[in-house]
Amino acid sequence: MISVTEPVAKRPAPAGTFAALLRADFIAITHSAVVLMLNFIVPVFIVVLLGRRGTASALAGAIGGDAFAIALALTIGLMTSSLFGYSLALARDREAGVFQRLRLTPTPTWQIMGSRLLLQLVADLVMTAIVVVVSAVMRHAAFGAGRLLLLVGISVLGGAMFLALAQALVALVRSAAAVSAVSRFAYVVLLLFGLIGVSGALGPTVQAIGAWTPVGALINAYAGAGGLTSWGWSSTAGMIAIVGYTVIGVYVGVRWFSWSTR
């Protein structure tokens, strides 16, 4: 009697599943007009707008120039792409059952989220490079190697901070429509409070509070890295705040994140 052994399906290698997820997420990002606008068009528009003589000074009071334009463009770009792009895509995919289907596959859960986060950080680095190049071409701004590395490092930390906050938002709010509404409200509040605080228009108390907001902290960090101000306590405090918000966002985003809306 001949026994037939059924073939055993091999579990795909972790590297293979992660590469497949990266390819799928990369295609989704590059084919999304909204993502391309939030990541690249908005920051470049801000650089061009503030590159006009006098515009940056009008927005920043006594502070102005190329470094402020870069700091504001990168800060708004990172926040916009995370709060609008990443959080909404995450909430909609969860509502559509994408994560539930992925979890039925042998793919580890950390890869499902990790591929999205990694590609978003790469997009943030590309955005940083584009903003720096546009600034250099428009205003003939000079960037040394050390200055560039510092800007890149702060962009990675700032991108991680806003992605962590966006992850926390999706963890706490289940509905995609509600995530959209809350993200818009949070965007306006963070932007206005951060800009008003950094400018010092409402006095030193509000300025001190605004410096510890996500937007204020990142602008101050960029200001020190870009040579707008000397690296001092405001830039150091900005870095401390960025790390703190990242840790809180990661904890909330991991602790209370649900893979489905049920």
Mean pLDDT, each 10-residue run in order, the chain (262 residues): 48 71 83 75 83 50 60 90 90 91 85 90 90 80 78 93 96 93 93 79 79 91 72 85 96 92 75
In a domain? residue 198: yes
Which residues touch 145 (CB under 8 Å, ≥6 apart)?
Answer: none
Give the pLDDT confidence score for residue 228 in this predicted structure.
54
Which residues touch 248 (CB under 8 Å, ≥6 apart)?
Answer: 164, 168
Give the pLDDT confidence score for residue 70 in this predicted structure.
83
Give the pLDDT confidence score for residue 103 in this predicted structure.
85
Number of structural domains (the chain) is 1
In a domain? residue 1: no
In a domain? residue 229: yes
Give the residue among 255, 226, 220, 222 at the shortest CA–CA distance from 238: 220
Which residues touch 154 (CB under 8 Å, ≥6 apart)?
Answer: 218, 221, 222, 225, 239, 242
In a domain? residue 212: yes
In a domain? residue 261: no
Give the pLDDT confidence score for residue 249 in this predicted structure.
96
Rounded-to-integer distance, Cα 204 and Cα 213, Å? 15
- Which structural domain range is residue 120 located in? 15-255
Give the pLDDT confidence score for residue 9 in this predicted structure.
45
30: enclosing H helix or E strand? helix 14-30
Give the pLDDT confidence score for residue 15 in this predicted structure.
66
261 half-sphere exposure, CB direction, 13 A CA radius = 16
Residue with tokens 């602008």: 219
In a domain? residue 211: yes
